[in-house]
Chains A and B, each alone.
Chain A
Amino acid sequence: MGNESFDADLTRSAHGQIAKERLYHWLLFFCAALTVFVTVSIVVTLAVDAVAFFRQVDALSFFTGTEWESSRGTFGVLPLVTATLVVTAVSAIVAIPIGTAAAVYLSEYASDRMRSVLKPALEILAGIPTVVYGYLALVYLTPWLRKGGLDLSMFNLLSASIMVGIMIIPMVSSISEDAMSAVPDSLREAGYGLGATKFEVSTGVVIPAAVSGIFSSYILALSRAIGETMIVVMAGGMQARMLDLTNPFANLFNSGQTMTAAMVHAVTSDATGGTPEFYSMFAIGLTLFFVTFSMNLLSNRIAARYREEYQ
């Protein structure tokens, strides 16, 4: 700051200065409050149009119906929900063991040099756009699985959900690793002092001490899997299919439509504003928003509530 302007600041009236400070204070407050406005407007916009949807479609048949044929006016949300659950479950089977093991390795075993290479690499994986993952699932994974002898249709939930699992691995591993790294070394040293091996310290001391962080990483990752759109749209297909419990593999090997895919379908098909098909998007979106929002809340609560406090 030059001398001249410093003088000017001293001689300028105090009233102006105070008004200026107050102006900036409120300006910045409004920036922060804008985020609340975003949440509120998400809820309001979704709710208003969801109400419009339920005026045209019976709510009970929406939540209990087992058939979703939006172009023919049949709106039963269960096929979408079950497809979403299938994708989430399979992606969890892929991501949770791999992600947790990777976190243990990074936090307990990796040398500093190894970590300085592996951690940024995992971060970059987390930044790859989902449309790329969707492309990988559609163009490479599905043909490979077919060559491996699985009887897959071109669009299928199996390769989509495996790819969703691969996508959320970095999320599980990085948040779990943070939790494990936060466990103080004194606990590890106490373990070694009792004669425990490195394996026993890792599994018997570090993981139990970090379990709240690990669980919250699982919940966050699963909420990400539930809300994932592009992979399931590109590789999972657009055909809504009710979960068939008598033939569990058929659910995976055939195409299916998740909630997110149905929303994309409602917009990209020729449905115009005002039709139930268009409004169905908002009802699904509202459901999706509440599911993911409450999962994130739960994850934060678990992390905060069961966090071990170390000095």
Chain B
Amino acid sequence: MATTDESTGSWFGADGQVSQVRGLLFKLSCLGATLLALGLVLVFLLYVFNDAVQPLTADTGWLLTFVVTLVLPAVAVGVYYYTRDTRAGEVAYTALGLPVATTLLAGGVVITFEHIVSPHAWFALALSATVAFGLVELHARTRTAGALERLAVVVLVPLLALVGVPGIAVDFPVETPLLGQELFRLSFAIPELVPSLREVILALPVLPTAAISLLLTFTLPIAAAAAWHVRRVRESDRDGAIAGGATIVAAGLGLVAAPLVDLSATTWVVLATVVALPVGLYVESVVRRDVGVSGLAFPVVVAAGALIGAFLVDALGFAGPDLWLDWDFLTSPASTTPRDAGIYPALVGSVMMLVVVAVAAFPVGVGAAVYLEEYAPNDGLLGSIVDLIEINIANLAGVPSVVYGVLGLTLFVRTAGMQSGIVMVGGLTIGLLILPIVIVSAQEAIRGVPDSLRQASYGMGATKWQTVRNVVLPRALPGIMTGTILAFGRAIGETAPLLMIGAAAVVRIPPDTFFSLFSAMPRQIFAWSKEIETEFRYGVLAAGVVTLLIVMLMMNASAILVRNKYQRQN
């Protein structure tokens, strides 16, 4: 630093000799701190992974085979991308990540159709919802006048289609106030008058098989959405039709081909819809844009390496590692003997809880964000209330999760009278917990929508709500999705609130309704951490932690994928 010392008036550093040692040390210590922060956790996680998979218990030949067939080619291709072709590296990253992430999602969907809503129930639900929507739409087209009539149709038709006129059973003691003496008992029951369309469909003597039901009511809408998306992006009816048609054909093929590869037809349909469709769209878009096409080779190299390796070790008779985290672990219930213990009921519990969280927190969170960004006035009484709400949201995000647990316990169990430890209570409690996170991230996404778009919409005579629905929300959706997925990642790992609301430590049967007792993955891990046996500590627990981390990392990675794609578009 060239400056004068005030006391002596002499120059320092004027001869061009500036010491770099101090600066270099500072830089290195800062770098060291960053790497320490990452490295500490990484080392721990390596140990966990090692305990869960125990790679060293495998034969040397097994390890060598996989190093040669899988690791070396993958590393070689990775180095090539890193040094020669960065765009292909990005493509490779997505092309490998997308199938893995969507397969995980497909697992969640399969669990949903297995435990939460059976394919037939879904078929009936979707069909009657479609009929109801069609009737409402038809009425709106044919009779435009008459607001009251329209309201009645909008309320009654969906009600009849989905719920019917339910029977009423009343059993209510009428008591004198204060004394609590029973005057008389109001008790009557009306049998169900009109069954809903949904129930009528379910009661039909002939229903399509589970796979065909899914094909019609799960694949078809998604294929239609994909076709609509492709048509809009590519501005070509033909391409849209091809995308939609190919999806349906790929899924429909399962009705014939699934038994050949030892899959159930429903699993095939779900896989084709959830995995093959997005992967196909991505591959097609990469090939069409012709940027980094060689990146697509990466997943092929990995998959081929794994298959060849598996074939070789089988043929040569090498024994694999002594896995704790294996298929049995994922599909068996908890047990007191470490070797039999599994995480399946907790996995199902986590998925069901996440469904409740999503349904509870997403609409409210996005609604609040829309209000705060689009509707909220800046001044007046309402303006100061809005300021208060904003400060309050920022602070709610920092309230300890255990306090939310107490809130859930009091609000839903002790006040609303729900049973403690059921999926609904857990989901609602965690929903409250992530609500501020969802709101803040949705607000940021909405703030990112340029004002010119809103002005253009108003200029065309759109009302505020029409602008929000047709302009702001579609544009902000990727940002909202990113924040929401991250919040769901947080939700799936929360433990303390589950302890407070009394989620069960061990559940042997997966919950089958939203009002059954459940355990979630983190709750199960906590329960196992109390076991003192080494096999539990270093085996079962490690496997459970790796499962939880993989689910969470996948969610975070998909959020980052959405964000990167979105940033590049802007």
Contact = CB atoms under 8 A, between A and B. Distances in A.
Given A97-B33, A105-B31, A285-B403, A224 B398 contact: yes
A99 interface: yes
Contacts of B410: 45, 49
Interface string A97-115: 1111110111011100000
Contacts of B436: 35
Interface string B10-40: 0001000010101100110111111011101
A28 interface: yes
Contacts of A49: 410
A187 B407 CA distance: 47
B400 A31 contact: no
Given A118-B34, A293-B395, A105 B27 contact: yes
A109 B31 contact: yes
Given A132-B493, A140-B47, A288-B403, A28 B545 contact: no
A289 B368 contact: no
Given A4-B141, A105-B33, A42 B407 contact: yes
Interface residues of B, number: 96
Contacts of B391: 297, 300
A223 B400 CA distance: 8
B494 interface: yes
A98 B402 CA distance: 27
B392 interface: yes
B548 interface: yes
Interface stretch (A67-75, A85-93, A197-205, A242-250): A197-205
Nearest to A226: B400
Contacts of A230: 495-496, 522, 526
Given A34-B368, A36-B388, A41 B375 contact: no
A145 B439 CA distance: 42
Contacts of B30: 101-102, 104-105, 108-109
Contacts of B386: 32
Interface string B344-368: 0000000000000000000111011
A136 B43 CA distance: 10
Interface residues of A, number: 101
A166 to B, nearest CB: 6
B144 A11 contact: yes
Contact of A264 (B388, B494, B499): B499
A167 to B, nearest CB: 9
Contacts of A239: none
Nearest to A170: B37
Interface of A: 1, 4, 8, 11-13, 15-17, 20-21, 24-25, 27-29, 31-36, 38-39, 41-42, 45-46, 49, 97-102, 104-106, 108-110, 118, 120-125, 127-132, 134-136, 138-141, 166, 169-170, 173, 194-200, 202-203, 220, 223-224, 226-230, 233-234, 260, 263-264, 267-268, 273, 281-282, 285, 288-289, 292-293, 295-297, 300
Given A8-B140, A25-B371, 18 more contacts: A28-B375, A36-B392, A41-B411, A42-B399, A100-B33, A101-B34, A102-B33, A102-B34, A102-B37, A118-B34, A122-B37, A194-B3, A200-B23, A223-B398, A226-B400, A230-B496, A292-B399, A300-B394
27 contacts: A32-B389, A35-B368, A35-B393, A35-B436, A35-B439, A42-B399, A45-B415, A46-B406, A97-B33, A105-B33, A108-B30, A127-B493, A127-B552, A129-B548, A130-B495, A130-B496, A131-B526, A134-B529, A140-B44, A140-B47, A140-B48, A198-B27, A230-B495, A233-B496, A267-B405, A285-B403, A297-B391
